[in-house]
Structures are given as structure tokens and as C-alpha cells.
Structure 1
Amino acid sequence: MSTASTPIYNGIWRILADWFCVPRHAPSLPVHENEKITSRRPAPGFRNYLYFTSIVIFAVVAIPLTIVWGIMTSQEPVIGLIALPFLLLGMLAIAAITWLAIRLRYDTTWYVFSDRSMRLRRGIWLIRETTITFENIQNVSTRQGPVQRFFGIADVVVDTAGGGGNAHQASTQGHTGLIEGIENASELRDAIREKIGKNRTSGLGDEPDLQSSANDATTAAHSFTLQHVAVLREIDNLLRQQ
């Protein structure tokens, strides 16, 4: 963003944040003693990536409208001249709204990590926050398209328990966390995998459940009395006589 446009955007951002109660800072996470919290936004390349895709979409819409206006002007010059200011103002309004929406989307996107969980926030009109605990994560992968590669960014996709299927289906079921527009996505992926391993080996994974089941079985076995044993033997004798 240019230096001249920064104060303008900051003023608009402040007004919109007050009107729509948009949080300006990173979301918080419940933490334990001595637990480290880190927060990050998407890389600046993600903002440029959004600008590029919006320019492509804008061109796809603007070029046919311009061709239609040219044909109309060749047949009805007066009508074409009258429509020209409206056409230009409409394109400028669309460009300004798109620019502002991309900036707001970038500034409202946060990724917060603790030793036990992560919280993802995105959205402008509808703000969504998703909290994922590392012990429930089943798979972590990276995703990068050719345009993302050009801007030096990638996505980190986090699948939790029960989130099978493709990424779109899993996302609608609430079983996928998407960390968009990250530089060095492979490093973040490996860091998440390391935290998954630490949480599962520190007593937060499946091993305590297995131990708990074994303890329950042992307790149930010791709860039988001599009367229970006698009744079972009697039932066994009746079955043998049949």
C-alpha cells in the first residue's frame, strides 16, 4: 500500500471497526502457566495474490462491458457518450470497494497458536473463529497453486478427526482448518506436527484412554464376589445338562 493511501485506509478501517464491532487485535486462547502464545497474519504476498485475482475477475467483467459500450456508441453516439460517465463511475466504485474489501480481509485474518491448540479467525461481515486442539488433528498438509507459487505463499490444511473426504466437504462439516497465504508453509506444517506429537506423548492423546479402559476392566474383574461366582457355576452346570 502506498504511503499516501495509508492514512485514508486507516481512517476507513477505524470507522468500520467501530460500526461493525470488528476486533482489531489477534484473538486470545486459554493458556496454562508458562505456555507460549504466538500469533501471525498471512504474508504480504497473500494480499498481493488477492489483488491479482481481483484484477483478473475485474478484467473479465470490464472487457465485455467495454465492448458492448463500443458497439452501442458506434450505432448511437449520443447514448454512448451519456452512458460513458456512468460506466466509468461504476468501474471506479467496484475497484474501490474491492480494494477496501481485500485490505479488510487481510487485516481481520489471524492465526494464533499455543502449545495445545490453535485459533483461526477470518471474515469481514461474518467473522468466523475456529479453535482446533492439536491432539485432535489427524493430518497436516500444504497446498500451493501456480499463482500462489508466483507470490511465494501457500496454504496449510489441517484435518481433524472425522474430517475425511475432500477439503471442501470436510470444511462444510467443520473438520478442516485452513491457514491461508503463509510464507514457509512447510516450516509451519512441521511445527504443527511437532506439537501434535508432544501433545499425544504427554498424556493428551489416545494412550490415556487405553490405560483408562484397562483400569476399568481390572476394576470390573475385582468387583465379582463369591456369590457371583457360584451363580455363574450353577448356570454353567445347567447348560451342560441340556
Structure 2
Amino acid sequence: MNRLHSLSAVVYAIQYGFFWLWIPIFLLFGLATILEFVSLTWIPVVGALGFAVGVAYGIAYYYRFGYQITDDTFDVASGVIARRSREIPYGRVQNVDIKQGVFHRLFGLAIVSIETAGGGDTEASLNFVSEAEATRLQNEIRTRTAAVKQRRKQAGDHTGDETAATDDATPDSSGVVEPTETTATDSETGPLGPGAGAGDTVPDRDRPFDEPTGPKRRSLFDLEARELLLYSFTSFRPAAVAAVLFVFFLASDTIIEILLAMSQPVGGPEDLGTGTTSSYGIFTIVSFVNGLVITYLLSVAYTFATYYDFQLGRIGDDFVYERGLLQRYSGSVPVEKVQSVTATDNPAQRLIGYAGLWVETAGYGPDSNGGSQSAVPLAQHDRVYGFAENLTGVETPSFERPPPLARRRYLARYSLIAGSIVAVAFGLSMISPLERWYLAVIAFAAVPPAAHLRYVNLGYYVGEDHLVVRRGFWRRRTTIIPYYRIQTVSTRRSIFQRRLGLASVVVDTASSRTFVWAAPTIYDVSLEDGRDVNETSRKRLQSALRKRAAGEAGLSVDFT
């Protein structure tokens, strides 16, 4: 069996050393409270002993960890005391992802993660191997996985149809996929702009000449510098809020002093104990504005670093992507795992005519966002929707909106929210120096536009092969769902919807994103229309399943 990189022994030794360092120390503290002869002066001795045991365990773990590629499985053996041996069949492998942080890139290392079908966790993780070895493993496993899928496809075709072929590869007698002689010419470009469709290949570092090179990589989309900047400045990452709060709790006193100094030129208090009501108000406003600016700038930096040098390509029937500045990711999205495709945009992106595209998958990958993976972070609106149409084969949707009665419902809902804001302001005026609580009634001015914007951004389209659902204003999502991916279609009605004769239709797929976010929902249609959508979807689901069994339905990875 192959071993990990030699630096892994050092990392494991340090990791387990510090872990075992604290175990005898905690035991010593416990025993010192019970036994009089136990002294805390023993801490350096027992700490050093625990660290030494941890180092020895880490080194032993390194030497007891092994992996190898066999004809049918990828084998991993680990464990010092309790041994664990795993044989991962290539037919179950979904993703082989490579991750590199700053430390890994400095030392030429990488983490290889292998995800299997139906698994919520990573099946095997190799910490660490060299970059060349990571690339070799990724290519080799992908090649053998493609060979297994090809044999399955041929077996299915031979039962009903003797024609079986793929665009990029054919298996030889040994079952290993060999590349065909035809590759894309330099003049070919994909629908998303420069670089799409060129006959690019994945470099095979340190590969023996007699090993299979696998299917060729074809570029589909490269995120240009202008698009990266636009995406960074027009999107917001909730993680930035958590980062700001974390820093504030670590250094709250220092940050408060800085905020006081920034608010004093515009009338803020000299300190928190001697201010007036108006100076406190100015301090609050200045602090809030500064918090927003800092959070936004952190979000911009995070997005820029995450999607730097984003590239989307195709290898066989898999989408492959690379991205990241400080942490570099390289992974794949098997087309057979794609459950739905979602185009997203927010008000700022709609204003400049841009949108993004995400694919929702079944299962969690090491780098997936709750079962969702960006295929196009940001591009012009027409290019994104053209990409979605080429991928799914959906016809241009003609959206139907809910009845006007739904807008009245939103007016009532947002009026209740505005009333709650006024009530909270009044309550604060009773227990604080706040006097002009009645200014909170300005919230009612936002009710009509908010209700209208929610209403006009809702829509649905019942196509021949796809159901398209659009919803949301701050982050509008247009989800294209092939009928054969639908798991359940349910009609739901709240108490208020029953009084108005409305209903919502929930379309559930096997996407893991539905565990994090709500399933695609057609909101507030009339009860009759909701039942029609439900019944039509069920019928077309059965028809789509028959077409898929006959090989007539599925997503396309060929965009040239």
C-alpha cells in the first residue's frame, strides 16, 4: 500500500501530541482534589509524558495508514489499535476533490477527499499527499469510475438498444476508458464566452507512460476579472457577520474605544458614562454604519478569495471546477447527481443585467454548500439562461403569476410587521429615553412596495419536460426541475390561505439543499391551479421516468 506524504507524520505527531498533552493534566487536576499526595507540581512531567505518547501515536498512525488503487476498488486502511479497512467500489464514487490551503500550497501538499453515492460524509480523506499524487489519484479514479459507468450504460443499452457510445471515451477490453482521437479545435467556443470549448487537458504529473490518461477536459466557463469583481461587490456572505461578531467579542473594549473616537467629531459622547441622549443616538448610528461597512468589505474580500480564478470544465459526463486564492479547491459534479438547476440574482445584479447559476445535487460534497454547487458564479443574464437551457433542454419559460388576491395577502402580512415595529418602538419609549417613538410609523410606507415586489417576483411554468419555479426578491431564484427528478409534489394550505382560496405547491427533489433551505415552492396560487399543477406534474413524472428508462431524458454536458 502507498503511504501519505512524509510531512503527514509531522502533522499527525503534533496534532495527537497536543491532544494527549491535556489528558493527563486534566486527570491530575481531578486526582489532586481527591488524593492529598497528588501534587499539581507534577504538571510539567505528566504533560511531557502525555505529549510524548501523543507524538508516538501520531507517528504510528502515519505508518499504519495506507491506500492503493486496485482494478475494482480504492482501498484505504487506517487505525493503530482498532484497524479499519475500506474498499470503495468505483461504481459508488461520486466526487474526488482536491483541497489546498495556504500551508499545503507552500509545501506542495494537498488533501484528497472521496465522496460516494448517498453518503452525507466523506468516505475517505487523504491528509496529505503531494500535488502530483493528488492529481494522479483524481485522474485515475475518475477514469476507472467512468469505465464502470460506461459498462453499465452498455449493459442497459444491449437489453433494448444495441447503440451505446459516449462523446469522449470508449472502454477497451480491460474496462479502462481510453480517450478518442477527436478533440475540440481551438476555434470552438462554448456559449459562455472565451475559453469555452477549447480542447484543454488536465495535466498528468508523474504519470507513467503506460497508464491511461482518461477523457480530455473541455473548458466551459472561466470567470473573468471583471465578473469576479462584480460578483464580489454585488453579493453578500453571511459568514462576514459571524466574523465581525467574533472579532467584537474578542476585543470589545478596544473596538468600543475606536467607535467612540470616530463618533466624537459628529457629536458622539466622550465616553459611555457621561453622554447625553442625543450623543448616544449619534454613537449608535455611527457604530451601526461602521459595522455595516466593515461587514460588507469582509464579504467582498471573502467572495473574491473564494471564487478567484474560477474555472468550469467537462470531463466525460462530469462537471469539474477549480477555484480559490488562499484555499484552492478542485472538484467535480457528476451530471447524474444533478437534481435541479437554479439561476440566482439579487437587486444589484439585476440592475446591471447579471445572474449566477447553481446546480443542486444529491449528497454533500467536501466543498458543496448544502448540496448546492456554483456552476457560473456571475455572468450576463442572457448567457446564464442560455447555459441553463443548454444544460437542461428546457424551453424558454412563459411564467404564470399567482392571482392578484395574493398581493392583498402580502399587504396584510407586511402591515402586521410594520405594526409590530411601531409597537416595539412604543414599548421602548416606556422603559428608555426614547421619545419620538411615533416616527416608527414610517415603516408603513414600505408596505405597498414590499408587497408588490414579492408578488411580481413569483411565477411558475409547467413545461413538457420541466417544471420551472421562480420566487424571492432579495435573492431571486429560478429553479428548473426535470420531472424525472421530482420525489414528491404536495399542496399545502395555511389557515389564511384556506380563507382566501389559495394554496402553495411544494416540489421536493433528492437535493441535499432541501435539508438546509426550503424546497422549491409555488406560492399562493388559486386552489384549482395548485391542484392542476400537482396532477400535471405527477402525470408527466411517470412519462419522464419511462423516457429516462429508454435513454431519452437526461441532462446534457455537451455545450459546443
**TM over 0.5: same fold?**
yes
In structure 1, the residue matched to 2:472 is: 123
Secondary structure of 2:481's match? Answer: strand
- How far does residue 157 in structure 1 lie from its aligned partner after superposition? 0.7
Q: Distance in 2 between matches of 1:21 and 1:90?
A: 35
| Counterpart position of 2:414 | 54
Residue 440 of structure 2: aligned partner: 90
Number of the residue aligned with 1:190: 535
Deviation at 1:100, TM superposition (A): 1.0
Show the counterpart of 1:5: none
Which structure ranks higher in relative contact order (CA pairs < 8 Å, sequence separation ≥ 6)?
A: 1
Aligned-pair identity in percent equals 22
Distance 1:171 1:95, change over 3 A: farther
Instruction: Report if the CA contact (8 A) 1:45-1:152 is conserved.
Output: no
- Once the two structures are TM-superposed, the CA of residue 158 in structure 1 deviates from its matched residue by 0.8
Which residue does the alignment assign to 1:104? 453
Helix, strand or coil at the partner of 1:42: coil
Q: What amino acid is aligned across from residue 123 of structure 1 in structure 2?
A: G
Aligned length: 171
Q: Which letter does structure 2 place at the counterpart of 1:208? A: A
SS at match of 1:39: coil
User: Do residues 181 (structure 1) and 524 (structure 2) align?
Assistant: yes
Which digits, 9 at most, give the CA deviation of each residue in 1:90-115, with x for residues without a partner? 312x1122321221121122212210
- 2:202 aligned residue: none
Partner of 1:217: none
Asked if the contact 1:37/1:115 (under 8 Å) is kept, the reply is no
- Find the aligned partners of 2:550 and 2:540 in 1 and give their Cα distance: 18
**Contact kept? 1:112, 1:118, Cα under 8 Å:** yes
Contact 2:459 2:471 in 1 (8 A): yes
Q: Select the residue among 509, 516, 527 that pairs with 1:172.
A: 516
SS at match of 2:520: strand
TM-score (norm 1): 0.57
Cα deviations by residue, 1:177-209 (Å, 9 ceiling, x for unpaired): 2111110212221111122122223x22xx337
Structure 2 CA distance for partners of 1:126 and 1:177, relative to 1, 3 Å: closer
Query: What CA distance in whole angstroms lies between the structure 1 residues aligned with 2:510 and 2:541?
Result: 13
Deviates further, 182-191 or 52-61: 52-61
| Alpha-carbon separation, structure 1, partners of 2:509 and 2:398 | 21
Change (3 A) 1:143 1:40: same
Aligned counterpart for 1:208 among listed residues 529, 535, 550: 550
Which has a greater percent of helix? 1
Structure 2: stretches of 5+ with no match in the other structure: 1-346, 356-384, 552-560
Equivalent residue in structure 2 for 1:113, among 462, 473, 476: 462
User: Which structure dedicates a bigger proportion of its chain to strand?
Assistant: 2
Q: 1:63 to 1:161 in 2, by over 3 A?
A: closer
* Contact 2:418/2:447, CA 8 A, preserved across alignment: no
Counterpart-to-counterpart distance in 2, 1:21 and 1:149 = 38
C-alpha distance in 2 between matches for 1:55 and 1:90: 13
C-alpha change, 1:128 and 1:104, in structure 2 (3 Å) is same
With the length of structure 2 as denominator, give the TM-score of the two structures.
0.27
C-alpha displacement of 1:61: 2.8
Equivalent of 2:495 in 130, 146, 159 = 146
1:39 to 399, 411, 420: 399
Inter-partner Cα distance in structure 2 for 1:65 and 1:173: 32
Q: Which runs of 5+ in 1 are unaligned?
A: 1-14, 164-168, 210-242
Tell me the secondary structure at the aligned position of residue 124 of structure 1: coil
Counterpart Cα distance in 2 of 1:208 and 1:18: 40
8 Å contact kept, 2:459–2:469 = yes
Going from structure 1 to structure 2, the CA distance change for 1:104 and 1:17 (only over 3 Å counts) comes to farther
Asked if the contact 2:399–2:459 (Cα under 8 Å) also holds between the matched residues in 1, the reply is: yes
Name the CA shift for 1:63/1:90 in 2 (closer, same or farther; >3 Å): closer
Structure 1 pair 141/67, CA: closer, same or farther in 2 (3 Å)? same
Q: Partner residue of 2:198?
A: none
Offset at 1:162?
Answer: 5.0
Letter of the structure 1 residue corresponding to residue 503 of structure 2: A
What's the secondary structure of 1:138's corresponding residue?
strand
Distance 1:43 1:172 in 2: 29
Task: Flag the 1:16–1:160 CA change in 2: closer, same or farther, 3 A.
Answer: closer
